Amino acid sequence: MSLFPWFLGDAGFTFAVDPLSCWFLAIIGVAGLPALIFAPGYLQHLRHRVSLSLVWVALILLMISMAGVVMAANAILFLVAWEVMALSSFALVTADHERRDSRRAAIIYLGATRAGTAFLMIGFLWAHHLTGSWVFSEWGISGTGALAPALLIFAGLATKAGCWPFHLWLPIAHPAAPAPVSALMSGVMIKTAIYVMIRLFVLDNHFVVPLLGPILLVLGAISAFWGVLFALLQHDLKRLLAYHSVENIGIILMGLGVSLLGRQHHLPLLEQLGLAAALFHTLNHAIFKSLLFLGAGAVDACTHLRDIEKLGGLVHRMPWTTGAFVTGSAAICALPPLNGFASEWLLYQGFFKLAMDGPSVGLRFGALLLMGWLALIGALAIACFVKAVGVVFLGNPRSRRAERATEAGRGMVVAQVLPAVMCIALGVAAPAVLGQLGRITSRLGDPSLLYHAWTIPLTLIALLLACTVGGLAMWVAALSRSLPARRFITWECGFGDLGPRTQYTATGFAQPISRIFGAVYSYTVDINVKGRNRRYFPDKVTAETAHEAYLETKVYTPLLQSIKRMAGIFLMRLQAGSIHQYLIYMALMLGLLFWVGVS
């Protein structure tokens, strides 16, 4: 479809909607709807600091531009929509601009997105130079010349998606935005980068680069591990969730890598499995990540606290939020019969098929290793979410504000229950989702291969589980008529009612795992004992844990410092401050232009 063909030069306002775009439009709608339902209730508690009209305008622009990105048929329109998306999300990140960390986060986000878009633009220009056209469907680049533009485009997309090592902006920017915006950004916006990757690299042979499959697999594996490891160390609920976005993007990229490897080695089932796993996980992540972010937002709105070390006991005060959050956590930890398990099972099957049919011993062993890696990541995610749910919602409240929390408003509760129900529904009805995915993967091969690959009776298991739990509940209810349970203080081995300070803290919960992986981020614990007779009668004991992100301190910070220094050296000399000097520059430029034009 082409509107106003004269508008954007020779590229035009062309849209193309095919099953892949439909899938991503569905993601935008399905994940965006809860965020938009949540927004009015949430913004009420921010109304003194935030300009509501700006937020709403930017939200609507964001949704429109995201739809534009997945529907754009040519590179120019795509870049326009991409930039509008970046700018509107920037406006949303700065919504709460009176806080200093919001401003800092917004600048970092702007810098990262500009850098990513720069790479993307160079890649697109290169592709245009190679093929002579701006329209995506006319690109078919292969051979040695395809590697450089493909890598540039991938670098730009990886920055937007939050893949290691370009992920540093994500845990800074996403928490700084208001909760519904974080849900949209983390759940939907980073998926648009995945859409472009699928369209250019996986479907339809637009870029045939054999090296890309292993690169995607390796980077995806590292991102997944890195994200979940750092998530364990966070005590800000939203930052924790942002690191989990990095993890899940890693999982999606692993699926894409498997698909590309399948194509490279002519294994049609593997191609389809990898793509189906990646697409399904994209949908699932959009749903449960927005659910989790909305839950964090509800907690923030009702307690005005984001630090999980000060929360606790919210299960009695905010029951609906807790229920939805627990469902979301179970989904993200890939527990059956929810949707997270369905997509991770597909990925496991992809790895297994790679192990079975892979052409070389190294590839087969690597695939088995990746199965174990995925299990490791899953177990780390479970640890992280048990920590998050346990410390925030369960136990005793650790501060006055947590004690006084009340359930969130009706709009906010509905906005959380909706995705929770979707999580369960998508998990139980996974074969139906696979039917839809078959329409997209039919471009790679025969979709019946994919349908036959789904062997597990997840619906049956879900039904069995529900019946068994229900049966047990009824039996217990029958027994309790004669012997009812009683409520008393927590036993704690006879120590009794000790109060909230003796509960496990989040830092303490994560400490064993943090210590095991301590070398990765130089985890140090500093214990200070103060008192007159320190050994036997301490007055005060403080324990401080510290960790350092090597990527940030050893790579990015020195790079940015050296850029600033060079800018200072050169620019300071040029900017003399004298208006005459600037006018002389202009006159010289004018003369140069004349000379060039006339000769």
Partner 1 sequence: MGGGELMNSLFLSVLHLINLLLLPLLLMGIIRKAKAVMQNRIGAPLLQPFYDMAKFLHKTETISENAGWIFIWTPRVGLAVAVIAAILVPWTGVLLPPGWAPATNFLLMLYLLTLGKFFTMLAALDTGSAFGGLGASREATISMLAEPALIIALGALALGAGSTDLMAIYSSPASPFIALLAGAGMVITALAELSRMPVDDPTTHLELTMVHEAMILEYSGRSLAMIEYATALRTCIFFGLAVQTLLQAWPVFHALPLLLHYAASLLGLVVLGISVAVAEGILVKLKWRSVPNFLTFAVVLSLLAAVIAAVQS
Partner 2 sequence: MNLSQIDILAAGVAVLAVWMCGVTCLKMQVWGLSGQTVLLSGICVLLGREEAATGMFILALVVFSIKAVGIPVFLSKAAERMDITRDRGIYNNSTQALLMGCGLLILGYFMTPKVAVPTMMNQGTAGMALALIFIGMLLMVTRRLALSQIVGFLTMENGIFLYGLTQTSGMPLLMEMGILFEALVGVLIAGLVMFRINRSFEHIDVTDMRGLRH
What residues between 472 and 491 interact with partner 1 by CB under 8 A? Answer: 472-473, 476, 479-480, 483-491
The interface with partner 2 within residues 560-589 (CB under 8 A) comprises 575-580, 583-584, 586-587
**Does a cis peptide bond (omega within 30 degrees of 0) precede residue 214?**
no
313 neighbors 396 (Cβ within 8 angstroms): yes
* Residue 594 within binding range of partner 2, rule CB under 8 A: yes
- Both structure tokens of 111: 């810098």
- Residue 84 CB, shortest distance to partner 1, in Å, is 41
Q: How far apart are CA 133 and CA 124, in angstroms?
A: 10
Closest approach of partner 1 to the CB of residue 316, in Å: 6
Q: How far apart are CA 198 and CA 277, in angstroms?
A: 12
Nearer to partner 1, 211 or 376 (CB): 376
CB nearer partner 2, residue 369 or residue 586: 586
Which amino acid is located at 139 in the chain?
A: W
- Quote the CA–CA distance of 124 and 255 in Å, as a whole number: 24
Closest CA to 386 of 260, 240, 599: 240
Least separation in angstroms between residue 273's CB and partner 1 is 13
- Residue 9 or 359 with smaller CB distance to partner 1: 359
The amino acid present at 468, given as its one-letter code, is T
Check if the beta carbon of residue 380 is closer than 8 Å to that of residue 228: yes
User: Whose Cβ is closer to partner 1: residue 93's or residue 338's?
Assistant: 338
Could you tell me the smallest distance in angstroms from the CB atom of residue 575 to partner 2? 7
CB atoms within 10 A of CB 63: 19
Residue 504 touches which of partner 2, partner 1, none (Cβ within 5-8 Å per kind): partner 1
The residue among 141 and 458 lying less far from partner 1, judged by its C-beta, is: 458
Contact set for partner 1, span 360-399 (CB under 8 A): 361, 364-365, 368-369, 371-373, 375-376, 378-380, 382-383, 386-387, 389-391, 394-396
- Residue 579 interacts with, from partner 2, partner 1, none (CB under 5-8 Å by kind): partner 2
Q: Is the peptide bond before 431 cis (omega within 30 degrees of 0)?
A: no
Shortest reach from residue 95's CB to partner 1, in Å: 34
Q: Kindly tell me which of 183 and 232 has the beta carbon lying closer to partner 1.
A: 232
Site string for partner 2, 522-561 (x = CB under 8 A): ----------------------------------------
Residues 229-268 that bind partner 2 (CB under 8 A): none
Site track for partner 1 across 92-131, x = CB under 8 A: ----------------------------------------
Q: What's 492's DSSP letter?
A: G
Give the integer Cα–Cα distance in Å for 387 and 394. Answer: 10
Residue 282 interaction partner, one of partner 1, partner 2, none, beta carbon < 5-8 Å per kind: none
Query: How many residues contact partner 1, by CB under 8 A?
Result: 80
Q: Rounded to an integer, what distance in angstroms lies between the CA atom of residue 88 and that of residue 160?
A: 14
C-beta closer to partner 1: residue 373 or 556 = 373
Amino acid at position 396, single letter:
N
Task: Report if residue 590 touches partner 2, rule: CB under 8 A.
Answer: yes
Query: What does residue 456 show for φ and ψ, rounded to 5 degrees?
Result: -75, 140
**H/E/C letters for each residue in 493-544?**
HHCCCCCHHHCCCHHHHHHHHHHHCHHHHCCEEEEEEECCECCCECCEEEEE
Q: Which stretch binds partner 1 (CB under 8 A): 2-10, 105-113, 495-503, 534-542?
A: 495-503
Which position has the token pair 């947590």? 402
Q: How far is the CB of 595 from partner 2 (least distance, A)?
A: 10
Interhelix angle for 75-93 vs 52-71, to 10°? 160
Using CB under 8 A, list all residues that contact partner 2: 575-580, 583-584, 586-587, 590-591, 594, 598-599
